[in-house]
Amino acid sequence: MKLYHKLLLYQNKLLQPYIRVILAIVTVFTNIASLFLIIGVVYQYGFPMTSADIHYLKILYRWIWIVYLIYVSINLLINFHNFKKRYKHLTFVLSGLLYLTLIPVLFHHPEGHGFTTKIWEFFHSEGYGLTILALFSLLNLSDSLIRLLGRRTNPSLILAVSFLVIIVIGTGLLLLPRSTQEGVTLAWIDALFTSTSAVCVTGLTTVDVSSTFSTMGMVVIIILIQIGGLGIMTLTSFFAMFFMGNTSLYNQLVVRDMVSSKSLNSLLSTLLYILFFTLFIEFVGMVLIWVSVHGTLGMTLKEEFGFAAFHSISAFCNAGFSTVPDNLGWYKLMTGHNAFYIIISFLILLGGIGFPILVNFKDIIFYNLKHFWKALCSFKLSRYKRKHLYELNTRIVLIMTVILTVVGTLSIVYFEWNESFAGMTVGDKWTQGFFNAVCPRTAGFNSVDLSAFTMQSVLIYIVLMWIGGAAQSTAGGIKMNAFAAVVLNMHAVLRGSNKVNIFHRQISQDSIRRSNTTVIMSLGILFVSIFLLSIWQPEMPIISIVFECISAISTVGSSLDSTSLLVFKSKILICVLMFVGRVGLITLMLGIIKQKKFTNYSYPKDDIIIN
C-alpha cells in the first residue's frame, strides 16, 4: 500500500469519531428545529396574532432556516457518501430549493417590476420558505420515527401509540381559538371526542360540527380523517422510504406486515398504490360530487369545491363527518340529489373493500389489457385467454359486500317504505334504502333520522355495523373476512369436515383462530361497555346504548340521537371504544400482552365434551 493511502486511511480513522459527534449534534438540533417549526406554524394559524408575535415568529423561522442550512451543508461536506446513500434524489432537489432561499440574502431587491424582480420576491416570500422548511421537518420527523422501529419495539404497540399521539395533537389543534366559530367555547372532552372520532374515522360527535367549528377547524378535522384513513404508519413509512431510502431490513419487515405487502421488493410500490388509489378515488369523487350539487345548494364556487372535497375524503375514509347541518339529511340535499347519495355510497364501498383488493383489481386490469393488446397486435385473438387472477381474499370480500348490500337495501326499503321513507318518491326510497344499507359499513352518514326507524331496521343496522367492511380498509367492525371465516368454519363443523374449504382453497387454521378470537373479543368488550353505560346512563334506552357502543367500536358513527346526551365517563368510554375499533382488537392485544416464545414440544391431545 502506498504511503499517501496509509495517511488517508489514518486520517479517516482519526477524524471519523469527531465527524460522528458533529453529525449527531447537528441532527439533534435539526429535530428540535423541526418541532419548533411545527409549534410556530400552529401558533401562527391557530391564535390571533399581534405585530410583536409576528416579529418573534419571523425570528424563530430565520433561526430554523439557518439550522437546516447548516445541517444540509455539513452533510454534503463531511458526510457526502453516507448522505447520498441514505437519502433519495428528491431530497437533494429539496436541498437545492433550500439553497435558493439564499438568493434574497446575497442579492438586493432588483429595481423595477420585471421577471427578475418576481423571481426575487418569490424566493423571498414566506410561503416558499415555510413550505421548504415544512417538507424538511416532515422528512426528518418521519425518518426519526421509522428509525425507532429499528429498536425492535413491538410494531403493534407502535401503531397504537402513533394513533394515540395524533389524537392528542388533533385535540390540541381543535382547542385553538381559530378552530371554533366566534363566540363558541369548546370543552376539552368534546375536542378529545371529536379528534378521536376523526382519527378513528368514526363520525360520532358530541357537538354540532357545522355550527361549532370554523373553516380552520374543518381543515383540521379533514386532515385527521385523511391521516386516520390512510394509517399513520403508512404515511410515515412512505415518506421515510420514498424520500430517504430506509435500508433497515427489520424496519422494512415491520412496514411490510402493516401494509400487507407480499415481499420487500413490492413494499414501496404497495405504499405508492395505497396513496395513489386514495388520492385518485378521492379526486374523482370530489369532481363527481361537485357536478351533482353545482348551483343547487346556494354556495359559492369555492364553497362548492370545499364541500365536495370534504365529503369525498370523509366518504372514502368511511368517516361520516359532514360540513352541513343535520349531516346529509340537510333539506337542500334531500330533494333532487339522488346522484349525490349514490356517489357517496360508492365512495364508501370503495373505501370499505380495502387497499389489497384495489391493488388486486389493478393487477387484473393491467394483465388483461396487456395480453389482450398483444393478441390484438398479433391478430390472434383466439389465443387470448382470460386468466383468473382474483385472490381468495378478493372473492370473499366482493361476495360479502354484494350480499350485505343487497340484503340490507331490500330489508330497509321493505321496513321503511311507509315509515321513515313515507312521502318520498319511489326513486328516493330506493336511493335512501341503498344509501342507508351502505352507511353502516362503516361510514356513519345519515340522511334520515335513525331514531325514526322501525325496530327491525335498527336491528339490521346493528348487524351491518358489527360486521363492518374488509380488512386493511378504512372501514371498521369485526371485518367481513373474519365473519366469513367464522361462518365457513361453522359450516365445516356442521358437515363434519375437519377442513374449511372454499373456491378450491383451504383456509388456514391461523386465519380461523384469529377470526374466532376477533368475534369473541368483540362480543366481550361490547358486553362490558353496554353494562357500564347502562349504569352511567340509566335514563337511556338499552337499544340506544347497544347501538352507540357497536357504532363506536365498529367506527361507524351512526347514533340514535344519544351521543350528545353522554356524561363525562360515557364520553371517555366511547373514545376508548373508537380507539380500540380503529387500531384493531388483535393488534392492540398483541401490543399489550407479552408474546409466548415458540416451543418445540407439545402436550398430549385430549377432547372436551362440546354438545
Q: What is the pLDDT of residue 532?
A: 92
- Taking 60 as the threshold, does the pLDDT of residue 267 lie above it? no
Average pLDDT, the chain: 78
Report how far residue 475's alpha carbon sits from residue 348's, in angstroms, rounded to the nearest whole number: 9
- Taking 70 as the threshold, does the pLDDT of residue 263 lie above it? no
Q: What is the pLDDT of residue 529?
A: 92
Q: What is the pLDDT of residue 528?
A: 92
pLDDT in tens, 309-345: 988 988 888 888 888 887 888 888 888 888 899 999 9
- Taking 70 as the threshold, does the pLDDT of residue 249 lie above it? no
Q: What is the pLDDT of residue 206?
A: 83
Q: What is the pLDDT of residue 256?
A: 55
- Tell me the average pLDDT across 61-68: 86
- Taking 50 as the threshold, does the pLDDT of residue 5 lie above it? no
Question: How many C-beta atoms surround the C-beta of residue 336 within 10 A?
Answer: 11
Cα–Cα distances (Å) from 426 to 338, 429, 430, in that order, read: 11, 5, 6
- Taking 90 as the threshold, does the pLDDT of residue 527 lie above it? yes
Q: What angle in degrees, to the nearest 10, is found between the helix axes of 426-438 and 338-353?
A: 20
- Tell me the average pLDDT across 422-447: 86
pLDDT in tens, 411-431: 999 998 888 888 888 888 999
Which range in 102-111, 200-209, 244-253, 415-424 is most confidently predicted, on average pLDDT? 415-424
Q: Residue 4 burial (CB < 10 Å; 0-12/13-18/19+)?
A: exposed
CA angle 125, 128, 130 (to 5 degrees): 105
Residues 6+ apart with CB under 8 A from 56: none
Residue type, 242: F
Report how far residue 318's alpha carbon sits from residue 476's, in angstroms, rounded to the nearest whole number: 9
- Taking 90 as the threshold, does the pLDDT of residue 531 lie above it? yes
DSSP annotation of 502? E
Q: What percent of the chain has pLDDT over 90?
A: 8
Residue type, 189: I
pLDDT in tens, 11-35: 455 566 666 777 778 778 888 888 8
Q: What is the pLDDT of residue 7?
A: 46
Q: What is the pLDDT of residue 18?
A: 67
- Tell me the average pLDDT across 371-394: 66
Q: What is the pLDDT of residue 415?
A: 92
Report how far residue 417's alpha carbon sits from residue 424's, in angstroms, rounded to the nearest whole number: 9
The reported pTM is 0.77
- Per the CB < 8 A criterion, the answer to whether 29 and 89 are in contact is no
**In this predicted model, which residue has the larger pLDDT, 475 or 458?**
458
Backbone angles phi and psi of 388, in degrees to 5: -80, 105
Q: What is the pLDDT of residue 287?
A: 92
pLDDT in tens, 177-200: 888 888 888 888 888 888 888 888
Q: What is the pLDDT of residue 434?
A: 92
SS3 (DSSP) at 213? strand
- Which of 156-165, 181-190, 303-312, 586-595 is predicted with the least confidence, judged by mean pLDDT? 586-595
Chain position carrying cell 388520492? 279
- Is the torsion defined by CA of 142, 146, 151, 156 positive or negative? positive
Report how far residue 486's alpha carbon sits from residue 507's, in angstroms, rounded to the nearest whole number: 11
Residues 6+ apart with CB under 8 A from 188: 171, 175
Q: What does the block give as the cell for 575?
A: 373514545
Q: What angle in degrees, to the nearest 10, is found between the helix axes of 126-148 and 115-124?
A: 40
Q: What does the block give as the cell for 445?
A: 352518514
pLDDT band, very low/low/confident/very high, at 4 (cuts 50, 70, 90)? very low
Q: What does the block give as the cell for 56?
A: 418573534
Q: What is the pLDDT of residue 410?
A: 93
What are the residue ranges spanned by the domains of the chain? 1-151, 384-592
Residues 6+ apart with CB under 8 A from 363: 389
Q: What is the pLDDT of residue 233?
A: 52
Q: What does the block give as the cell for 220?
A: 383540521
SS3 (DSSP) at 607? coil
Residues 6+ apart with CB under 8 A from 22: 74, 78
Q: What angle in degrees, to the nearest 10, is found between the helix axes of 232-244 and 155-174?
A: 100
**In this predicted model, which residue has the larger pLDDT, 403 or 5?**
403
CA angle 511, 515, 517 (to 5 degrees): 120
Q: Residue 333 burial (CB < 10 Å; 0-12/13-18/19+)?
A: buried
Q: What does the block give as the cell for 401?
A: 359486500
- Is the torsion defined by CA of 270, 272, 275, 277 positive or negative? negative
- Which of 39-43, 344-348, 452-456, 559-563 is predicted with the least confidence, judged by mean pLDDT? 39-43
**In this predicted model, which residue has the larger pLDDT, 276 or 349?**
349
- Which of 60-64, 166-170, 246-250, 324-328 is predicted with the least confidence, judged by mean pLDDT? 246-250
